[in-house]
């Protein structure tokens, strides 16, 4: 018997909320990757790991918020906790592979294509692993042509996201890229859901009783959502976020040129470099003034 599938049992609430979470995860992930690539003094592994976790949690949260609205009218639905948690681990791990590859090896065509394929396949694996966690009075069948289309969308979306992560520096452009990525991730999800068909064992109304999908999924979503909020606080209060593109470029030029030479009497045109005179020192102006003050020799100069 064919079951009646409804992916929008709460109307537009679940798709809109899922899209917002996908955009939030993408925005935070892109900013973290940009922070690690264009500021050499940052702790690159930490920022890349935060970016991977943000994007992975955003994709996973988007999926299961959307699944809150999934219903089969003739059967109850339950979720296997182990497979649900495993899908989160897979999402973060495969996104980390792509993010670290691009973060350390750059945006060469070969690196971008390979990392995008791995990440896209991982996102698709997360989606269908999450679908495998569904337990109902029957089994799920897929239209393989639509499944292949959803995998292709995932690969294109992942490749575009990785390219944007290392190619787009401005805040507004990163925000626009995250909105586009949210559309791609949501499109991949609902394309995959369009491939779903449910074959029921009978019309008994299901064998699962007790908790509803919402009462089970909402507590599991709390952890990733809290992580995204904390990551948002870290990103928003990071001082590099408020610097313009020119400031990042000048900082990179100073690091490439190396420290300035100390002042010499035969080279008065070369400015002195005080030990505390750095771009990030709040006391640099005071340090320069103190350095330029003539040093007392301990002898009083008699004026005639």
Q: What is the mean pLDDT of residues 88-108?
A: 86
State yes or no: pLDDT of 298 exceeds 50. no
State yes or no: pLDDT of 6 exceeds 90. no
Q: Radius of gyration of the chain from Cα atoms?
A: 27
Residue 73 burial (CB count, 10 A)? 11
Which of the four pLDDT bands, split at 50, 70 and 90, describes residue 196?
very high
Between the alpha carbon of residue 149 and those of residues 78, 94, 190, the distances in Å are 27, 20, 11
State yes or no: pLDDT of 86 exceeds 90. yes
The pLDDT value recorded for residue 193 is: 93
Q: What is the mean pLDDT of residues 149-153?
A: 93
State yes or no: pLDDT of 131 exceeds 50. yes
Of 14, 31, 108, 23, the residue nearest 57 (C-alpha)? 23
**pTM to 2 decimals?**
0.72
Q: Where are the alpha helices (DSSP H) in the chain?
A: 13-38, 44-68, 81-105, 109-132, 144-167, 171-194, 213-236, 245-257, 284-292
Q: What is the mean pLDDT of residues 199-213?
A: 60
| Higher per-residue pLDDT: 289 or 3 | 3
The pLDDT value recorded for residue 232 is: 80
Which of the four pLDDT bands, split at 50, 70 and 90, describes residue 7?
confident
Percent of the chain's residues with pLDDT above 90 = 22
Classify burial at 144, counting beta carbons within 10 Å of its beta carbon; exposed 0-12, middle 13-18, buried 19 or more.
exposed
Q: What is the mean pLDDT of residues 33-47?
A: 75
The H or E element containing residue 142 is: strand 138-142
What residue ranges do the domains of the chain occupy?
A: 5-245, 261-304
Ranking 62-66, 113-117, 162-166, 253-257 by mean pLDDT, the lowest is 253-257
Q: What is the mean pLDDT of residues 123-149?
A: 91
Strand duo 77-79 + 196-200: pairing: unpaired
Note the pLDDT tens digit of each residue in 214-263: 666 777 888 888 888 888 887 777 655 544 444 444 444 444 444 544 54
């Amino acid at each position: 018997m064919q079951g009646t599938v409804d992916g929008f049992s709460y109307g537009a609430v679940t798709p809109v909320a899922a899209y917002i979470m996908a955009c939030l995860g993408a925005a935070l992930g892109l900013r973290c990757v940009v922070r690690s690539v264009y500021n050499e003094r940052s702790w690159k592994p930490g920022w890349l790991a935060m970016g991977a976790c943000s994007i992975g949690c955003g994709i996973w949260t988007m999926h299961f918020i959307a699944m809150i609205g999934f219903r089969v009218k003739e059967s109850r639905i339950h979720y296997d906790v182990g497979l649900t948690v495993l899908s989160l681990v897979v999402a973060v791990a495969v996104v980390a592979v792509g993010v670290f590859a691009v973060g350390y090896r750059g945006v060469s065509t070969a690196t971008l294509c390979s990392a995008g394929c791995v990440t896209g396949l991982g996102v698709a694996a997360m989606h269908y692993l999450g679908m495998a966690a569904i337990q109902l009075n029957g089994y799920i069948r897929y239209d393989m042509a639509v499944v292949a289309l959803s995998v292709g969308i995932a690969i294109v979306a992942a490749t575009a996201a990785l390219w944007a992560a290392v190619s787009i520096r401005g805040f507004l452009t990163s925000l626009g890229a995250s909105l586009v990525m949210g559309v791609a991730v949501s499109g991949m999800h609902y394309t995959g859901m369009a491939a779903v068909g449910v074959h029921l064992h009978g019309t008994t109304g299901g064998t699962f009783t007790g908790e509803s999908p919402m009462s089970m999924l909402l507590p599991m979503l709390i952890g990733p959502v809290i992580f995204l909020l904390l990551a948002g606080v870290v990103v928003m209060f990071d001082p590099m976020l408020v610097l313009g593109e020119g400031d990042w470029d000048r900082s990179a030029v100073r690091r490439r040129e190396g420290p300035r030479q100390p002042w010499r009497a035969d080279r008065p045109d070369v400015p002195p470099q005080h030990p505390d005179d750095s771009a990030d020192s709040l006391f640099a102006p005071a340090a320069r003034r103190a350095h330029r003050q003539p040093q007392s020799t301990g002898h009083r100069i008699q004026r005639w």
